[in-house]
Amino acid sequence: MEDVHIAGVGMTEFGRHPDRTGRELFGEAAHKALVDANVPRDDIEALLYGNFMGGFAEGQNHQGPLMADAAGLTVPATRYESACASSGIAVREAVKKVRSGEADVLLVGGMERMTNNPTSVVTEALATAGDDLYESRVGLTFPGAYALMADAYFDAYGAERADLAHIAVKNHANAVENELAQYRNAIDVDDVLEAPMVADPVGLYDASPITDGASALVVVSESYAEANDLQTEVAITGTGQGADSLSLQSRESLIRTPAAEQAAEEAYEDAGIGPDDIDVAEVHDCFTIAEVLALESLGFYEPGTGYAAARDGETTRDGELPVNLSGGLKAKGHPVGATGAAQLVELTKLLRGDHVNSDAVTDAETALTHNAGATVASAVVHVLEVVQ
């Protein structure tokens, strides 16, 4: 079985791009990844591409071949859709293709263009990732869904809004020096607690923003890297995927995310490691409560204890397990289809030492990404390790 190496990564700035099309955004990210990889376009065998709301936001489906054109490629191209986990799933499929020997060189990534629509339209589009019959039709949007999850967690474990506020403060602090992040402003706990309420107890600073952006990676087999003298420093050594009921009312609990637990267990087993071996992580903090649930589902914290991690300095940049050094979805931004691949872009740079926040993890050798769809009905986890 071939080992899978990351040869190059690329990302656009995340934020508002009112004068750019989705194809322009992905073309930029792909070009950066190909230059970083030093891999000829002619060697790319396929494009695996994540996108969720292109039909709503741009009136453009069938985006796979369109984005291959944007990347300067004429190769088989497939769009993957799994809500916010779309490009994370695309990365997983790329890993499987390289491991099996089906391909040696792949371009994988994602894009979402969202800010060209009013908030009401974006909210409607995002809500289609939930259960239309039992949730969307009765007015439940994702801020409301995560508010239900937060309330259930508070009731079970005694956590408070101030505990979640520390997560937002941490992630904004991590984004300040990240030139690709959407929000590079520091905030404090009072800012979070005094911000407008979106869906009690979820406030404005508890939620990730509406974002445009694209991300891309070139993944190669170890044999291709060796044959072409590529200096690939990071490999994807573990991958896992999990599932849960789409609608909240069908779940046994609102304070656990079994899809992430399943994905993590599979990824750890695949990589031959455990949660204690992870040095740095990027988790899917679409809302601050989501980071808490992720930390517990990934095995970093026992149930009912993850809410204190940021407050106690354990997941800050100088903590034992730095989480979301990119700024996370909360401050880096959340262009839905691009997010999963963007997590791997950020961690690859962090492990290679060429990220602005690499000084926080100078000895890191093993990293993890956690990418979730909707209220974690879908989840994908990847383990990255330094190989050179």
Strands 378-386 and 4-11: unpaired
pLDDT at 1: 87
The span from the first CA to the last CA of the chain, in angstroms, equals 19
Find the catalytic residue in 5, 17, 84, 166.
84
pLDDT at 88: 98
Instruction: Report, as ranges of residue numbers, the positions in the chain whose pLDDT lies below 50.
Output: none
d(CA 244, CA 131): 12
pLDDT at 184: 97
Angle at which helix 22-37 crosses helix 63-70, to 10 degrees, equals 50
What topology is assigned to 127-209+237-386 in CATH? Peroxisomal Thiolase; Chain A, domain 1 (3.40.47)
Q: Is 382 a catalytic residue?
A: no
Q: Is 84 a catalytic residue?
A: yes
Report the 3 state secondary structure along 187-212. Answer: CCHHHHHHCCEEECCEEHHHECCCCE
Q: Do domains 4-117+211-235 and 127-209+237-386 have the same CATH topology?
A: yes
Q: What is the spatial order of strands in the sheet that 366-373 belongs to? A: 77-80, 46-50, 105-112, 213-221, 4-11, 234-243, 378-386, 366-373, 280-282
Superfamily of domain 4-117+211-235 in the CATH hierarchy: Thiolase/Chalcone synthase (3.40.47.10)
**Domain residues of the chain, as ranges?**
4-117+211-235, 127-209+237-386
Find the catalytic residue in 334, 355, 370, 382.
334
